[in-house]
Structure formats: structure tokens, C-alpha cells
Amino acid sequence: MKVALVDVDGHGFPNLALMKLSAWHKSNGDSVEWYSPLFSRPDRLYASKVFTFTPDYRGFAPCAPPPVRGGTGYDATVKLPDEVERTLPDYTIYPEFTPALGFLSRGCIRSCPWCVVPRKEGKIRVVDDVERISAGRREVVLLDNNFLATPPEFVSEQLAKAKALKLKIDFNQALDARLVTERNAKELAETKWIHYIRFSCDTGMMLSHVADAVRLVRSFGYRGEFFVYVLAKDVEEAYDRICRLTAIDKKIVPFCQPFRDFTSGGEPPVELRRLARWCNIQSIRKTVSFRDYRSGVHR
Ligand code: SF4
């Protein structure tokens, strides 16, 4: 069978579901390629979209079979069959991406109103193992939504395995600062990170938790950076949060994410996008005040 894939979001970050589908089909003797309306004549077509705000793909040739659509951007309830979910990803379809990729756990213990995870994945549960995911690669990007909410024994086991295997890891969806304890702070401090430890600070109430977590991890000898996601709904409040966050520790790198209302599907307001640009380009944030930046003095 000929299989063709469409990564509707573009190829900026690998689409794990498509990687697993590709590996599963290849293991069953099928050929797999990126869809081209001119050249592909697939028997089966998959289109995957992670982000709701990505415009849909409209380039299918009239003779193409109806695509099997999946991903949060289409329908958060669509899941891969278990057999496909257990398959290790096909890295050859994203040759530029060199780390291993996967989830140690799915779901979350919380239900933040802006987040799709509770609806999509339900309660937290362990689903995999860092050694199996790594599959011989030295760096592992983990997409867990709340790894520290898994049982403490599992957290310890996985971080110890990563250390023993000399893996560098990254929880790129961030760790929950509220769940940093004496025990896991030591383990986090002893872990090798691809770039930094990530936390999120999505509301003002999270500031004290991030401050405590940073202090605790630092107390066990971690000298690297903390990358902190900042969800922004109100420009003044988010700006104030960014300032208070960066005052906690000089190696905190804030990353502002303007809130998107997925029901209206629109772009975030221009002022929020301006705040995000100012915040996320470190060379600007460190040299130009937001007041000057927003008034256009330094643009
Ligand atoms: S803690 Fe994170 S993953 Fe869990 S519901 Fe809140 S935003 Fe979503």
C-alpha cells in the first residue's frame, strides 16, 4: 500500500503521530512519503494538525482519497490505535531533528481552563520509559504535560535512568513548579538538560511557586538556565509578571505566549503580540524597556 502524509502545521517541529504512523506502515511493508498533489498517488492519506489556529491544508488533488484527519487542531478526541501508539517514531521523515521524541506520561492532574490536555488526555498515567524512547539517541525531547505529577518513584526511576544512560533531556511542555519537592529537586539538579529546565508561570499565583522551585533546584547545585512559559492575556499584568519573574533569578528566560481564543480562532491582539516579541527576543528585552519598545522608539 502507498501511504502519504501531510503535516498541516508545516515542518517546524516534528509531528509525533505522523512519525509513528510512518514507522507502523513501513513495518507492515507499505511505502510512505510526504504528500505531493502532483506526484503522489496514495492509497491512504493522513493529515495531522496540532494547532487549532493553523489554517487547514487545501491542496489535495481531486483524485486523492479522503484524508484520515487527526491531531488536536482537528479533533482532540481522535487517538492513534494502541498498536501504532506503541511504535517507535520514524525519524527519517524529519531528518533535521536529531533528538528522540516521546511521552513518558499522558494527561494531567489539573484542569486549567485554557488547556486542552484534561479534555484530550484525561487523568495522568505512565505510558513509556525513557530508555525505550531514547532508542540509542543521546538527547530526548519529552512532551509530557505534567511529568512531576506521576508517582514519585516513577519520577526518580526515569531521571536516574536518564542519568545512568548519560542522556540529555528536555521536558519541552514544562514542569509544574508546584510539584517540585526536596526529593525531585535534587534529581532535577543532577539531570543533564538539552538546554534548560522549563517551568510555566501562567498566572500571577504561580510566581511564588516558580521562585520556590528555582531556589530548591539551585540549592542542589543546578547552575543552568530556567526557561519559563508566560501565558499572557492582559498586557500590563503579563508585563508585570515577566518583570517579577526575571527578578527571581538572573538565569530565568521568560517566554511569553499570547493567549489565543480557540473558539473565535482569531489572532491575539497586537499589543500582546508586541509584548511577546519584546520578551522573547532576549537581546531586545535586555537592552530596551518595554515602554520604549511599545512606543516605537526602538523599532
Ligand atoms: S497544568 Fe499544564 S497540562 Fe495540566 S491542565 Fe494546567 S496547563 Fe494543562
Ligand 1 atom at shortest distance from the alpha carbon of 114: 7
CB 36, CB 77: distance < 8 Å:
no
Q: With a 6 A CB cut-off, is 105 part of the ligand 1 pocket?
A: no
1 Cα: distance to centroid of ligand 1 (angstroms): 39
Grid cell of 283 as nine digits? 537581546
Q: What is the mean pLDDT of residues 202-214?
A: 98
C-alpha cell read off for 113 = 481552563
Instruction: State what percent of residues in the chain have pLDDT above 70.
Output: 98
Angstrom distances, CA of residue 159 to CA of 83, 193, 296: 27, 11, 46
> Is-contact 254 242, C-beta < 8 A?
yes
| Helix, strand or coil, per DSSP, at residue 232 | strand
Whole-number Å distance, alpha carbon 291 to ligand 1 midpoint, is 31
Nearest to 97 by CA among 32, 45, 148, 170: 170
Neighbour order of strands in the sheet with 225-232? 196-200, 225-232, 252-258
Residue nearest ligand 1's atom 1 by CA: 110
Of 72, 112, 202, which is best to mutate to test ligand 1, by the most ligand atoms within 8 angstroms of its C-beta? 112
Q: Could you report the per-residue pLDDT of 70-127, keeping only the tens digit for each?
A: 998 998 888 899 999 999 999 999 999 999 999 999 999 999 999 989 988 999 999 9
